[in-house]
Chains A and B, each alone.
Chain A
């Protein structure tokens, strides 16, 4: 299998000497991003073990928290399950988005991103493609959490439309929040640093919130943080949409946080990506 290249007839010469300028077609960024999304999806399908953080983890957390703390915190494991499930969903989304940062940081150190950069491809396409590819992970995490909860006795008490809205809001939040780890990935040197830094950011967000307990038991100084915590709003919104609890402004605040993550971290991440090489 060594020398057939040399003996091929010249008709198969792969170089066309004329300057072939690809046509600029509309929606180029979208088309290129989707091509790169497909790349992410193929990679995800090849390495199902990389989905543990969005499959096994929410199921384990539900079991551990409900059966160990349920009695103590809420007096009944079933009541606590109803309360906790939207929280676990939000927490798993927040920890699940760390993976994209770790993966992108790993990718950057391989030649593939240099190849993308040497092609006439919009500079943002590789990052946008990666973020969109993660939709699958967030749909999986939502499905697994609800399915595991259902087995344990969780019941949605509103209507299917509200429940669907809650799920969509969770996935949207995840996609927007992803730009934070993407930004971190563009600015630190090793995948381990992405993991460490993101964990340090996500931990206080998930615990100083309404994920595990009602916020009225928390000390006053912490409540100020809890009230602006984006996870508090996401959990407040999904709880309302799944269980009919008072929803207040939570949906609007969640959407505002989504917009904020994209408006702030997407341009910063893209800028860092462009500068990464030079």
Chain B
């Protein structure tokens, strides 16, 4: 066990009336790493983040951020953290700059310090041109960048990102991922919640899977993928007549299973890793089979849950209810 855990939680319990949002959640994040907390809507991810960021008090268990207890020493925790997410947002009637300067003042940076910090962050997040427009006029991507900038005003060492890319288009999502990577390079410790396995895979050093308020798995992304099974290669040959030949070629690169026709004219096989994609391309080209679609997919969140719990999460929900 690493001694340098920046985020530690043991047995967190939270109830809202009769609903048990968290039923004993443990989390551990070593300094300078990213923990991805993965789970469907309503799994308890946001509740966990709200407890760790001192917005909620747990009904049971304890948590420490940078060594400070989130209940007894909440003030010191607040000095160490930055929170961005569905809930912690900015004031839409203020401009981007006014928002950041307000948070700078509230963090005791002083008037000049707050102004300097705001300018720095606006520049870094490519918002300088929009700095003096009201936040309500920002596009979705700009809003997220301003939200994130607002949580970084106090140079926090621990950053909570609650579903930072939900609702963003793929290009904006990748930008956000680059930002997260840069923060970690700068020494920050990040806890990120997400509904996307792909996102956790792209950013996280470790993944904790939560469902119905419980941790159902904790592993590295690779470890989790080994459990869940690898990726899926999908191919659509240009001509339906080529389906047979394509299937034969795909079986050669697959982990064993035969090719399945998952949609009309589209074949899919399970593969071990990225290398299978180039292999398949080479073999299809060698055999002279033209294709119109070729893609590699990670297992979906549903598949992760199916493997870990033996049932898709929405069915389990009905059972639980």
Contact = CB atoms under 8 A, between A and B. Distances in A.
Contacts of B92: 110
3 tightest Cβ-Cβ pairs between the two chains A and B: A17-B187, A111-B89, A15-B186
B83 interface: yes
Contact of A39 (B76, B94, B155): B94
11 contacts: A13-B183, A17-B186, A19-B157, A22-B108, A28-B108, A38-B102, A43-B91, A114-B87, A114-B89, A115-B103, A119-B103
B124 A12 contact: yes
B272 interface: no
Contacts of A3: 175, 178
Interface in A1-36: 1-6, 8, 10, 12-23, 25, 28, 31-32, 35-36
B55 A19 contact: no
Interface in B116-145: 120-121, 123-126, 134, 141, 145
Contacts of A6: 175, 178-179, 182
A72 interface: no
Nearest to A6: B178
Given A5-B179, A22-B107, A115-B151, 4 more contacts: A16-B187, A31-B105, A116-B106, A121-B78
B78 A119 contact: yes
B49 to A, nearest CB: 10
Contact of A14 (B94, B124, B171): B124
B192 interface: no
A14 B88 contact: no
Interface hub of A10, A43, A117 (most chain B Cβ within 10 A)? A117
B10 to A, nearest CB: 19
Contacts of A25: 108
A4 B108 CA distance: 30
Given A25-B108, A46-B134, A119-B78, A17 B83 contact: no
B54 interface: yes
B80 interface: yes
Nearest to A13: B186
Interface in B144-172: 145, 149-152, 154-157, 159, 171-172
Interface hub of A20, A115, A277 (most chain B Cβ within 10 A)? A115
A24 B108 CA distance: 8
How many residues of A sit at the interface, in one of the four size bands? 35 or more
Nearest to B31: A17
Interface in B51-87: 53-57, 66, 75-76, 78-81, 83, 85-87
B165 to A, nearest CB: 14
Contacts of A2: 141, 171-172, 175
A217 interface: no
Contact of B79 (A5, A16, A22, A46): A22
Nearest to B182: A13
B54 A118 contact: yes
Contacts of B149: 14
A15 B78 contact: no
A20 B124 CA distance: 20
Given A35-B106, A42-B98, A115-B150, A5 B178 contact: yes
B41 interface: no
Contacts of A120: 75, 78-79, 107
B90 A115 contact: yes
A43 B90 CA distance: 13
Interface of A: 1-6, 8, 10, 12-23, 25, 28, 31-32, 35-36, 38-39, 42-43, 46-47, 110-112, 114-121, 125, 277-278
Nearest to A125: B106
How many residues of B sit at the interface, in one of the four size bands? 35 or more
Contacts of A8: 124, 182
A35 B102 contact: yes
A32 B78 CA distance: 15
A156 B171 CA distance: 67
A32 B106 CA distance: 6
A105 B84 CA distance: 22
Contact of A277 (B55, B105, B141, B186): B55
Given A14-B186, A39-B94, A119-B107, A110 B78 contact: no
Interface in B177-211: 178-179, 182-183, 185-188
Contacts of B103: 115, 119
Contacts of B141: 2
A6 B179 CA distance: 7
B93 A47 contact: yes
A278 B81 contact: no
Contact of A121 (B106, B126, B178): B106
A161 B93 CA distance: 39
Nearest to A35: B105
A235 B125 CA distance: 55
B108 to A, nearest CB: 4
Contacts of B79: 19-22, 120
